[in-house]
Amino acid sequence: EPEVTQTPSHQVTQMGQEVILRCVPISNHLYFYWYRQILGQKVEFLVSFYNNEISEKSEIFDDQFSVERPDGSNFTLKIRSTKLEDSAMYFCASSEGGFFGQGTRLTVV
């Protein structure tokens, strides 16, 4: 069964550092998404990406964040100058959002 793959599964970074979270969406899907879930909180939409550009973003997705599809398979979320409150599970989803990856747990220390 096709799946969305995310790496790494867990990332620990120091406050102020940049991190790149990686996702390999399902191959024939066209829409890609990033969501995050702070521990104990609801899953929140960050950004959607279609045809190599952002199609929608939430208020959370400010200048600290960027997304890229550097090649035909990978989809990345970059977080610059990480803050303690960026600690969360970050989920990539593809196509109509029905397919989520297993997530990257980001811990900022």
Should residue 106 be labelled a site residue for other proteins when binding is judged by CB under 8 A?
no
Structure tokens at 26: 């399902």
CA distance 84 to 15: 6
Should residue 8 be labelled a site residue for other proteins when binding is judged by CB under 8 A?
no
CA distance 50 to 14: 31
Structure tokens at 68: 């890229």
Minimum distance of other proteins from residue 43's CB (angstroms): 4
- Contact region for other proteins (CB under 8 A) — 11-19, 66-74, 75-83, 98-106? 98-106
Give the per-residue contact string, 21-60, with other proteins (x = CB under 8 A; - = no). Answer: ----------x-x-x-----xxxxx--x------xx----
N-terminal to C-terminal alpha carbon distance within the chain: 36
Nearer to other proteins, 70 or 98 (CB): 98
